[in-house]
Amino acid sequence: MSDATTVTVLGAGTMGAGIAQACAAAGHAVTVVDRQPEALERCLATVDASLERLVRKGTMSDDAAAQARARIAVTTDLAASVGGAAIVIEAVYEDLATKQALWRQVDSHAPAEALRATNTSSLSVTEIAQASSRPERFCGLHFFNPVPVLPLVEVVRAERTSPATLDEAVAFATAIGKTPIVCGDTPGFIVNRLLIPYVNDAVHALGEGVARAADIDTAMKLGANLPMGPLALADLIGLDVTLAVIESLHRETADPRFRPAVRLRQLVRAGKLGRKTGEGFHRYE
């Protein structure tokens, strides 16, 4: 990496804001790019609120928060923002065509040696990397929401990722205070491969009349010592996101274990997406 302190984050949504904050808090100069100016404003407001919370909790000093904030710039100008980047992390919509089109544009402006990473949750990193002329410099960096709080990063080795690229990605994730683990480019990587089928199975159990939603959640909280039940977790993740991941696992593997639960699809079709819409398996004020 030519200059480990210059990071460009593509996409100023939930994940882009969190990734930018984590990189800036670790001392990197970060530029966040989005095609919507409103998204960039929301991103800065999200970072401000998150830094304030960390200061209030005593996790971060006032000074450190102000310095981190000062290291984040935002722009709609993709060409200018990737021109000097040592690392480009993409966190735009979970849509293959959108991601590939963006990476083609990035490639014509970014330094050839820049590390390229996608934060995709359910698409193939290898397939996204096909849009880049430097697939050996391309890998997955899968962060978890909320990024400033959750320590894990899945570093995804795509088919053409070079060993040096993988080492740099692991070193980068470590340097920003995260705990990286390396995994192959398989559907759901590790966490979603194990977690989402469990959540989907809880919805099957609900559909089979095993118990009421509240009782399924209480059972797994108190009987398995988990911080929350699977249906409350689905509401937190978003039922649309949960459905997209289980559909992707099912499509990629054709394994009947990953058959999406009917009730999950019904709720998504009704716009009941969980906490973000006020209702999913549970109701929220």
For residue 270, count other CB atoms closer than 10 A to its CB: 11
By CB under 6 A, the count of residues binding ligand NAD is: 23
Q: Does 187 bind ligand NAD (CB under 6 A)?
A: no
Q: Does 124 bind ligand NAD (CB under 6 A)?
A: no
Say if CB 176 and CB 150 are below 8 A apart.
no
Q: Does 50 bind ligand NAD (CB under 6 A)?
A: no
Residue among 50, 119, 124, 192 flagged as catalytic: 192
Structure letter (DSSP) for residue 277: G
State the Cα–Cα distance between residues 7 and 134, nearest whole angstrom: 18
Kindly indicate which of the ranges 22-30, 93-101, 127-135, 180-188 contains the residues binding ligand NAD, using the contact rule CB under 6 A. 93-101
Q: Does 120 bind ligand NAD (CB under 6 A)?
A: yes
Q: Does 31 bind ligand NAD (CB under 6 A)?
A: no
Question: Is there a catalytic annotation at residue 208?
Answer: no
Q: Which of 3, 4, 5, 14 binds ligand NAD (CB under 6 A)?
A: 14
Closest CA to 120 of 133, 139, 101: 139
Sheet of strand 138-143: strand arrangement: 72-75, 29-33, 6-10, 87-90, 115-118, 138-143, 152-157, 179-184
Q: Does 243 bind ligand NAD (CB under 6 A)?
A: no
Residue among 81, 119, 121, 132 flagged as catalytic: 121
Triad 241, 169, 125: Cα angle to 5°: 40
For residue 276, count other CB atoms closer than 10 A to its CB: 15
Structure letter (DSSP) for residue 117: E
Question: Is there a catalytic annotation at residue 204?
Answer: no
Q: Which of 46, 121, 124, 200 binds ligand NAD (CB under 6 A)?
A: 121
**Minimum separation from the CB atom of position 84 to ligand NAD (A):** 18
Question: Is there a catalytic annotation at residue 248?
Answer: no
State the Cα–Cα distance between residues 271 and 110, nearest whole angstrom: 39
Q: Does 127 bind ligand NAD (CB under 6 A)?
A: no
Q: Does 260 bind ligand NAD (CB under 6 A)?
A: no
- Within the chain, strands assigned E span 6-10, 29-33, 72-75, 87-90, 115-118, 138-143, 152-157, 179-184
Closest CA to 244 of 221, 220, 273, 275: 273
Question: Is there a catalytic annotation at residue 50?
Answer: no
Q: Which of 1, 7, 9, 10 binds ligand NAD (CB under 6 A)?
A: 10
156 vs 223, which CB is nearer to ligand NAD?
A: 156
Binding mask 133-172 for ligand NAD (x = CB under 6 A): ----------x-x---------------------------
Residues that bind ligand NAD (CB under 6 A): 10-16, 33-36, 39, 91-94, 98, 102, 119-121, 143, 145
Q: Which residues are catalytic?
A: 121, 142, 154, 192
